[in-house]
Amino acid sequence: MPLPETARSLDLPWPPAELAKVTPKLQEWSSWYSGDVRELELQYGHQGAVAPATRPSQLSGGVRGSVARWFWGSPVAVGQPRAKLHVPVASDIATASADLLFSEAVAIGYPDEVPDTARDRLQLILDRNNWDSLLLEAAEVNAALGGIYLRATWDKEVEPDCPIITAVHADAAWPEFQWGRLRAVTFWRKVDEQGETVLRHLERHEPGRIEHGLYQGTRDKLGRRVPLTDSRATAGITVDDQAGISTGFEGLTAVHVPNMRPNRAWRSDPLGSNLGRSDFAGVEPLMDAVDETWTSWMRDIRLGKGRVIVPNYMLAPGGPGRPSTFNVDQEVFVGLGMAPSEDPGSTGSTMSVQQFQIRTEEHAGTLKGLLSQIFRGAGYSGQTFGIADEATATATEVHARERRSITTREKKTRYYVDGLARFLEAVMAVDRAQFRGGIEPFRPELEFPPAAAPSQQEIATTVQMFHAAEAISTHERVVMVHPDWDDKQIKAEVELILKESAAKVPDFGPLPGDGNEDGEDPAAQGDIPPDPGENLPPA
């Protein structure tokens, strides 16, 4: 389906109607990920802190009652300051997901027939695009929004020597699937916004071709199609008479990598069922409760500040328009014109101190319980975020605590291995067609590093146990200690070990009493009796 022309785009809602179920949830996850308090208030309260009054429908029942019962949906009382606080749990989860996946570089495997020049060319393309950092960024957004798109394009004015690799977020894409596989995708971005007028750039990727279109509309309508030259952001894009560009590659120059499947909320949606789910899916109410708990804790601290209540005669007048104040360092006060009290404690009773209790343990326990449940619901261990028992743990126990996070990581790597392999093949094809890069496109094999590498002490202990049991060769011992070495290095090390081992074995010479101290035949010295039958004549 090509980009819409003006006749169809004037009243076309944007985002498209096909994304009606998807877009609101992406906006919700985006609010949590950004951590913007204003966005959270708008998302759940639809009015922030500027509403003139509280309506009954906001508190119970009504269309807006359900979200208003959320902490971020409840309106701020008239006359009260905005004291709601946010704990960035969502962004911590997204960052942890990216760190677990791409804190170390992913290894790219090459078939034996791929020459070194092709390998160097691909590495040059990846280095120019800051590949490792790009994957970290993509993985973090993927965990937040449930999906990410990797896109291969080119702009010889910006990068004259190789393709440009970018990551497009899920809330800026309109994908089209067939049999669960991406067949085409349209990316969009706002290039200008003035009042109600919005200028959008649409970029559609389909097999062998990329189309570009510029549309002038409103915040919720795509509007009419205008020339690309109407915006500085698109004026440099050169297209053919059909507003497109041939990629020289028969496949797609964009891939979709889901964060995790299935998406429970969109199982029955024709489009959403093909998308991934966010790490935040299902734990949004718990993150809301964390913010409420944290705000309540800070409220206790504010109310718990010590206050001294004094009578009026202890206050110093502040003058016209200024409040009276109390000087805590003042030692003498002007007495009242009244009879002295016979109660010796009457003077103290005129001044009182208020100190409310700060419920630290209650709030801390509630917060820890909520966070543990959030991390578990998102698929991670509390140990990953520093929530664990304070007792000293062995390496095995630590690994067991991290097991849930490691399992989630392994699930996600399966989606990335397939998606990245297909994408790198597309990058090589674009490079060959547009830059004559000389790489014959192939689908590489990608290998993620182990999630929890054993320490040198653990490796040494394991090797020693196998060696003592005579269940491992010298070659395999070297491989276990140096898994990053090539065959040549391993062979040289094995030969060196065997040579040193042979040198350590002492040469004891002939054993005493064997009659061979001088190199003579024992039988010749008479130490061994002759065979009685050796001199007998033949029968």
Q: What is d(CA 136, CA 446) in angstroms, rounded to the nearest whole number?
A: 16
Written as one letter, the residue type at 89 is V
Q: At what angle do helices 456-468 and 474-481 cross, to 10 degrees?
A: 170
Q: What is the pLDDT of residue 507?
A: 62
β-strand partners of 307: 354
Q: H-helix or E-strand containing 42?
A: helix 37-45
Query: Going by C-beta distance under 8 Å and a sequence separation of 6 or more, which residues neighbour residue 352?
Result: 308, 309
Task: Give pLDDT, residue 516.
Answer: 54
Give the model confidence (pLDDT) of 356-393 as tens digits: 788 989 999 999 999 999 999 999 998 888 876 544 45
Q: What is the mean pLDDT of each run of 10 residues along the chain (539 residues)?
A: 82 92 95 94 66 42 55 76 88 96 92 90 95 96 97 94 96 95 96 94 96 95 94 92 92 96 90 95 95 92 77 73 70 54 52 76 93 94 76 54 87 95 96 90 90 70 84 88 84 88 68 55 52 54
CA distances to 158, 180, 324, 354, 487 from 315, in Å: 70, 76, 6, 18, 87
Query: Which of 501, 422, 27, 486 lies closest to 251, judged by CA?
Result: 422
CA dist., res. 200 & res. 510, Å (int): 94
Alpha helix (H) residue ranges in 359-486: 360-378, 395-401, 403-435, 456-468, 474-481
Q: What is the DSSP string of 208-243?
A: TEEEEEEEEE-SSB--EEE-GGGSTTTTT----TTS
- What is d(CA 300, CA 358) in angstroms, rounded to the nearest whole number? 5
C-alpha 155/C-alpha 150 separation (Å) is: 16
The answer to whether the beta carbons of residues 259 and 416 sit under 8 Å apart is no
**322/403 Cα distance (integer angstroms):** 63
Nearest to 9, CA basis, from 171, 216, 174: 216
Query: Does the global pTM surpass 0.85?
Result: no
Per residue in 343-357, pLDDT tens? 555 544 466 767 778
Instruction: Provide the 10 A C-beta neighbour count for residue 400.
Output: 14
Question: How crowded is the C-beta side of 205, counted as CA atoms within 13 Å?
Answer: 26
DSSP state letter for 176: E
> Would you call 178 helix, strand, or coil by DSSP?
strand
For 49-84, the three-class secondary structure string (H helix, E strand, C coil) is CCCCCCCHHHCCCCCCHHHHCCCCCCCCCCCCCCCC
